[in-house]
Amino acid sequence: MTVAVESLSAMQAFVHAAEKRSFKLAGQQVGLTASAVGKAIQRLEEQLAVRLFHRSTRSVTLTDEGMLFLDRCRRILAEVEAAQAELTHAGATPRGRLKVSLPLASTLLLPVIADFAEAYPGIELDLDIGDRFVDVIEEGFDVVVRSGEPKDSRLLHRRLGSFAWRFVASPAYLEANGRPATLAELAGHRCLRQRYAETGRLVPWPTGPDTDGRRAPAAVAANALDPIILMAERGHGIAFLPEPVIRRQLGAGALVHILRDSSDNGTVGLLWPASRYPSPKVRAFVDFLADRLARVFAHPI
């Protein structure tokens, strides 16, 4: 299929219809009537010789072919917007409001963001700090910092680095209660556990074949890392924490790495909407954090 200007307009209508599951709502996004959106998508289907939607009187849903085409359309439109934005924003000074979502445990992030604010005084930072899973598109975030691999095809991703999760405890706790030699021995210790903010379920520990998460009882549970870190420092039990957020405590000896063969790995990255080319403020933020944090994650203890 040759991609003409009218095909790009039809792709835009198709993407909005797929996301809204409505030709009427898609038309409101692109300034067309529901009938015009339907005809544009019908022409696409004729050119592709496939059906993109299952249509009913109440809704439209994507076919399998439509789901494949949706992913390609998003990429094509993002490239077109990128080319337009490069010309429009060439040489533009980053400025304006930047809405950013950060995890609650932001010990490493906040100093870097403070440096960014000093480097770009024309950008107004709006920081949302918490461990809930935000909807980047629906809630209007420009950029989010998130651990784990991205799963939302509507978002672009830049990996900042990888890190290790460590079993740790304070020297005082280990002196009073002994040092576990195996994962199975965690069942006899006070365990400081993190809960998922959205579901309330305990974040799983790599407890191995001899035991499971239920046998690592939660003497203390919290939906954020900061209270767990504090309780671990004060000798209240064993915690399983990401190494970057406890680097200071490990370096000072306030926490000790135990069960060294039972670490786990994680990743952290930046996500931002793929439906538009990054504005100068988004690009500046992404590049700044990627540069600074790549050096941080490159030097674990």
- Is residue 41 a part of any domain in this protein? yes
> Can you say how many angstroms the Cα of residue 46 is from the centroid of all Cα atoms in its chain?
37
Q: Are 193 and 203 in contact (CB under 8 A)?
A: yes
Domain termination site, one of 34, 62, 88: 88
Residues 48 and 75 in one domain: yes
Residue 151's pLDDT is: 72
Residue 49 located in a structural domain: yes
Q: Provide the domain count of the chain.
A: 2
Residue 175 domain-assigned (yes or no):
no
**Are 33 and 68 found together in one domain?**
yes
Domain shared by 117 and 84, yes or no = no
Question: 114 lies in a domain?
Answer: yes
Both tokens of 269, joined, read 């990255």
Q: Which of 14-18, 54-58, 83-87, 241-245 has the lowest mean pLDDT?
A: 83-87
How many of the other CB atoms lie within 10 Å of CB of 138?
A: 7
Domain assignment present for 79: yes
Say yes or no: 9 and 145 in one domain. Answer: no
Full domain range(s) for residue 41: 5-88
Structural contact between residues 163 and 242, judged by C-beta atoms closer than 8 angstroms: yes
Task: Check: CB of residue 200 under 8 Å from CB of residue 279.
Answer: no
Q: What share of the chain in percent tops pLDDT 70?
A: 84
Contact by Cβ (8 Å): 23, 60 = yes
Residues 19 and 73 in one domain: yes
Mean pLDDT of 120-139: 83
Residue 101 is part of a domain; what is its CATH number? 3.40.190.10
Q: What CATH number does residue 65 fall under? A: 1.10.10.10
Lowest mean pLDDT among 111-125, 186-200, 202-216: 202-216
**For 270-285, what is each residue's pLDDT tens digit?**
888 875 556 788 889 9
pLDDT value, residue 102: 83
Same domain, 80 and 137: no
Residue 210, pLDDT score: 38
Residue 25: inside a domain, yes or no? yes
Q: How far apart are CA 255 and CA 138, in angstroms?
A: 40
Last residue of a domain, one of 88, 116, 140: 88
Whether 44 contacts 52, CB under 8 Å: yes
206 domain residue, yes or no:
no
Encode pLDDT of 73-129 as tens digits. Answer: 888 887 777 677 666 655 567 888 899 988 766 667 888 899 999 999 999 999 888
Cα–Cα distance, 68 to 45 (Å, whole number):
13
Would you say residue 211 lies in a domain?
no
State whether 133 and 58 are in the same domain: no
| pTM exceeds cut of 0.75 | no
Q: Judge if 36 and 19 occupy the same domain.
A: yes
Tell me which of 88, 110, 127 is where a domain ends: 88
CA distances for 293 relative to 197, 232, 289, angstroms: 25, 26, 6
Same-domain status, 12 and 73: yes
The reply to whether 146 and 75 lie within a common domain is: no
On whether both 147 and 10 belong to a single domain, the answer is no
Q: How far apart (Å, rounded) are the C-alpha atoms in residues 264 and 185?
A: 18
